[in-house]
Chains A and B, each alone.
Chain A
């Protein structure tokens, strides 16, 4: 063991290599004093008077397979599996996370077969979840939640909750977070397999290990996967993956974006669009606003920027400035022959929605009603830009899978007509005529993302499928709409015997 070499300097031991400039630093709540507001107590008190908060309640265990009770008739040509993901482990012991985005991910699987639907819910057994499950308490500080005596965090993989989206890739499922690697899930058992090191077997070796990989990859009709990952320094890594998940090309660009959070992006047939909202990080002296999300603020003096990236070589080609704004989600983008780029957004006037998702964790619903509106943007080749804002509130916009990056004539999204805590309405917008068709679930429902399922790969055909939580009965249902007649209501509705936690995103894999 004493094969000692008195080397004053070893070239390979460069000082720089040990400077751990962790991008995770921005995700830390460790500088905060311990929780002085009891979120768990406040939430549970509020839940007694505001039953609609049930969607944010903690989930203790997995949900075993259950055949759902069906109203109506499930169309015979729907065969496949609807996967959803979202945070569900919000509490351990007396500690409750302070932001909705912090909870450990739970997968919901709805298997459609022979006119029946079977549901199963399973926590994603990430390294973080495994350790905390064993310890029966939170061990790591969350982005907003300080934990006393929390364990040190030296890599994103240690705190990756895999809680935002779920996509099929090859024979596997990938559960997605946005600040770390995709998580491989076994399609059959829903068991956690590993945090994926993209390109490890090829030339990238481990250079992509632990890099941020957004929860909103765009899958082209040929199966190619495009995505980005934000480092809070403003550097963004861009990914072009083959349909099996192997990297074709990866590049890094410095955007100088200092907003801390970038959730979604867009793609045309030729370009990627990184839309950088009017956000910045601002330290607050308010002790209740010391966490990562708490410090993200809107600045009306910062224009939104659109970075147009050439898909052929992942380099910046052009940049546009838009009026100040913020969006979590975008529906689709496409290009005209002359190079004009068009895209839509669920556009917020500020970033209050982010902070409301923290307030709701302690049961506050008074300010939970900041709504986004559908906006259509036009970027001209001469560098000019314009947009139109529709009256309808809008979130979770989706288009048919086969049309991503191409001209879409239908845009499906949620809306809110009852000033509800979540959404209560599903909409189909004809982007040519402007005709909006909607179905109002009523004020008793909290409606989650609904996705178009188009087996014929033709817009205007197929089904719109999504979940909704019925507050009075504390049950969640899956709703199947004929996509051509959404206003008629669901053609079938399948009920669980209980409710599911409100989640974020999902996808349907056709058998």
Chain B
């Protein structure tokens, strides 16, 4: 009985943990201009990690002209930021011009766009609540 009780408690705990914490993030990127190269996508948890470049998760997918969906599974509740770039020449790096501005496609969560300067955290952050299955975030690529 005691063993059964413990087992039930453990199962319940796992189920509850799963119910409370497990969310998926679906990042829909549109406006990809070619099939060349790959998309590098990063997911950041919290402002500090975003500013420090410490990604929680990352993904690489083949580029496909038009729209692409990337899914990050089992994400805890919290504040998140997504960003990506289109590595058109497939060299594993975001190409920039001499002044450091991107010359390959890129983008951010919430479809945030730089405007005479970098996007702010408040423009790119989105919340993953504790009771959600799938969070959908959409953006368009900037070339």
A-to-B contact residues, CB < 8 Å? 1-25, 27-28, 30, 152-155, 205-211, 231, 235, 237, 250, 252
In the assembled complex, the Cα of A209 lies from the Cα of B142 at a distance in Å of 15
Measured between beta carbons, the chain A residues less than 8 angstroms from B59 are 3-5, 7
Does B98 belong to the interface (CB within 8 Å)? yes
Q: Which of A11, A17, A18, A152 has the most CB of B within 10 A?
A: A18
Q: Are B55 and A9 in touch, CB under 8 angstroms?
A: yes
Q: Are A155 and B101 in touch, CB under 8 angstroms?
A: yes
Select A153's contact among B55, B94, B116, beta carbons within 8 Å.
B116
In the assembled complex, the Cα of A13 lies from the Cα of B85 at a distance in Å of 9
B-to-A contact residues, CB < 8 Å? 40, 42, 51-62, 68-73, 83, 85, 87, 92-104, 106, 113-119, 142
Q: Are B116 and A28 in touch, CB under 8 angstroms?
A: yes
Q: Are B71 and A1 in touch, CB under 8 angstroms?
A: yes
15 contacts between A and B (CB under 8 A): A1-B69, A8-B57, A13-B42, A18-B94, A18-B106, A20-B119, A21-B99, A21-B100, A30-B115, A152-B113, A153-B114, A155-B101, A207-B95, A210-B101, A210-B103
CB contact under 8 A between A23 and B58, given known A15-B52, A18-B106: no
Select B55's contact among A8, A23, A211, A237, beta carbons within 8 Å.
A8
Q: Are A18 and B83 in touch, CB under 8 angstroms?
A: yes
Select A205's contact among B72, B95, B114, B119, beta carbons within 8 Å.
B95
Chain B proximity of A149: nearest CB distance (Å): 12
CB contact under 8 A between A22 and B58, given known A14-B53, A206-B103: no
Q: Are A210 and B97 in touch, CB under 8 angstroms?
A: yes
Chain B proximity of A195: nearest CB distance (Å): 12
Chain A to chain B: the 6 pairs with minimum beta-carbon distance, closest first: A15-B53, A28-B116, A152-B115, A152-B113, A206-B103, A12-B92
Measured between beta carbons, the chain A residues less than 8 angstroms from B52 are 15
CB contact under 8 A between A1 and B61, given known A13-B55, A154-B114: yes
Q: Are B116 and A10 in touch, CB under 8 angstroms?
A: no
Measured between beta carbons, the chain B residues less than 8 angstroms from A252 are 98
Q: Are B142 and A154 in touch, CB under 8 angstroms?
A: yes
CB contact under 8 A between A2 and B71, given known A20-B102, A209-B103: yes
In the assembled complex, the Cα of A25 lies from the Cα of B116 at a distance in Å of 4
Measured between beta carbons, the chain B residues less than 8 angstroms from A7 are 55, 57-60
Residue of chain A at shortest CB distance from B100: A21
Q: Are B62 and A22 in touch, CB under 8 angstroms?
A: no
Q: Are B97 and A12 in touch, CB under 8 angstroms?
A: no
CB contact under 8 A between A208 and B98, given known A3-B62, A154-B142: yes
In the assembled complex, the Cα of A7 lies from the Cα of B92 at a distance in Å of 14
In the assembled complex, the Cα of A12 lies from the Cα of B119 at a distance in Å of 20
In the assembled complex, the Cα of A18 lies from the Cα of B99 at a distance in Å of 13
- Inter-chain pairs besides A3-B59, A155-B101, A211-B99, 11 sampled, C-beta below 8 Å: A4-B70, A4-B71, A12-B92, A12-B94, A21-B99, A22-B117, A28-B115, A205-B95, A206-B104, A209-B103, A237-B98
Q: Are B99 and A1 in touch, CB under 8 angstroms?
A: no
CB contact under 8 A between A5 and B58, given known A13-B40, A27-B116, A152-B115: yes
In the assembled complex, the Cα of A55 lies from the Cα of B141 at a distance in Å of 41
In the assembled complex, the Cα of A1 lies from the Cα of B73 at a distance in Å of 13
Q: Are A22 and B40 in touch, CB under 8 angstroms?
A: no
In the assembled complex, the Cα of A231 lies from the Cα of B60 at a distance in Å of 34
Select B118's contact among A9, A21, A206, A211, beta carbons within 8 Å.
A21
Measured between beta carbons, the chain B residues less than 8 angstroms from A12 are 40, 87, 92-94
Q: Are B98 and A207 in touch, CB under 8 angstroms?
A: yes
Measured between beta carbons, the chain B residues less than 8 angstroms from A209 are 97, 103
Measured between beta carbons, the chain A residues less than 8 angstroms from B94 are 12-13, 17-18
In the assembled complex, the Cα of A402 lies from the Cα of B16 at a distance in Å of 83
In the assembled complex, the Cα of A154 lies from the Cα of B59 at a distance in Å of 25
Q: Are B93 and A17 in touch, CB under 8 angstroms?
A: yes
Measured between beta carbons, the chain A residues less than 8 angstroms from B70 are 1-2, 4
Select B114's contact among A3, A5, A9, A152, beta carbons within 8 Å.
A152
Residue of chain A at shortest CB distance from B52: A15
Q: Are A22 and B116 in touch, CB under 8 angstroms?
A: yes
In the assembled complex, the Cα of A249 lies from the Cα of B11 at a distance in Å of 68
Q: Are B117 and A10 in touch, CB under 8 angstroms?
A: no
In the assembled complex, the Cα of A445 lies from the Cα of B85 at a distance in Å of 55
In the assembled complex, the Cα of A28 lies from the Cα of B69 at a distance in Å of 34
Q: Are A20 and B101 in touch, CB under 8 angstroms?
A: yes
